[in-house]
Amino acid sequence: MKKYNVAVVGVGAVGIEMLRVLKQRNFSINELRVLARSERDIEVDGQVYSVKAVRPQAFEGIDIALFAGTEGEKGAAVTFAAEAVKRGAVVIDNGADFRMDPKVPLVVPEVNAKDIKKHRGIISNPNCSTIQMVVALWPIHKKVGIKRVIVTTLQASSGAGRSAVEQLKDELTDISRRGYNDVQVNSVIKAMPQQLGYNVFPHIGSFVELDYTNEEWKLVHETHKIMHAPKIKISATTVRVPVRTGHSESIYIETVRPITPEKVRELLAGSSGIIVVDEPAKNYYPMPKDVEGRDETFVGRIRKDAFVKNGLWLWVVADNLRKGAATNAVQIAECVISK
């Protein structure tokens, strides 16, 4: 079996998870280079990695470069992707810089793996909330067509980076010591625009067109591009919730042709990358605490709209650091080497 020289750029939350996923999935690696802005040693699951400074020459001989695209490494792909491609690497970027570039495939392997063959050296990894949504919607769209989507995301603190997880932890500690009405917000790192401990707020990203955030527009534009379905009407509200890891989504869809909840369960249960957990009478449904560390997308609460003929509800949960970022990127790399 051929082995490949792989670079992981960035050692924030997603970069760490990329190292973990590469090892767990037994990716065929000859040499692994871990790159970041500064040199140091890091330890992941008991294994020490020597982190080298990212620079153009670091990509010499690299076959696949995975850019984590988070925390201190934001913008690294803009600076170094072309240098990596020039030296023969295929770049898989987890950041937002290339996602809507018409020359760059935006890929979720369960949905549009064929788009990988169109790459010109760079392949983009979608936003975390988009990935789990399209994994769940794609089998339904293929079967009966989807004409409308209304989605509310409940996104974990880790989606805003490691510092946001620390902020949530510090806020909860502060509340337990001082009381709910006496949170000393200045005593914690401000990685998020509002207090998250014992709170939720509908603000992820920056507010742009029509008072939607850019995170909400990502769900629209990225879904259109991945599913090659620009006519689907999509509206989103993105909400930050006091969860460490694992994004949840309440998704309402209207299909072109009718389909029963029973058929949807059967269809999704037989689809790649999906696990159906849907016995609400027994309290069985997907929850973030149960999906952390998993690579699949979990779907439950599948039910008809009581008033709209072709309306359906889904509850979709996935680990945003794994399927929402690192695992999807490694799966793209697996598709690249398989071709």
Domain ranges of the chain: 4-126+325-338, 130-156+200-320, 162-198
Identify the pLDDT of residue 77: 77
Strands (E), the chain: 4-9, 29-36, 40-44, 47-53, 64-67, 90-93, 122-124, 146-155, 233-240, 247-255, 274-276, 297-304, 311-318
Does the domain at 130-156+200-320 match CATH 3.30.465.10? Answer given as no
Of the residues 128, 221, 228, 335, only one is catalytic, namely 128
Identify the pLDDT of residue 175: 86
The amino acid that residue 291 corresponds to is V
Q: Which contiguous run of DSSP H or E holds residue 224?
A: helix 214-227
Token couple for 227: 């599913």
User: What average pLDDT does the segment 81-94 reach?
Assistant: 97
User: What average pLDDT does the segment 53-69 reach?
Assistant: 96
Evaluate if residue 99 carries a pLDDT over 80: yes
Separation of CA 283 from chain center = 26
Token couple for 273: 């990358």
User: What average pLDDT does the segment 14-23 reach?
Assistant: 97
User: CATH assignment of 4-126+325-338, given 3.40.640.10, 1.10.220.70, 3.40.50.720, 1.20.1250.20?
Assistant: 3.40.50.720
Of the residues 119, 141, 228, 247, only one is catalytic, namely 247
What is the band of 71 on the pLDDT scale with cuts at 50, 70, 90?
Answer: very low
Say how far apart CA 42 and CA 45 lie, in whole Å. 10
128 is catalytic: yes
335 is catalytic: no
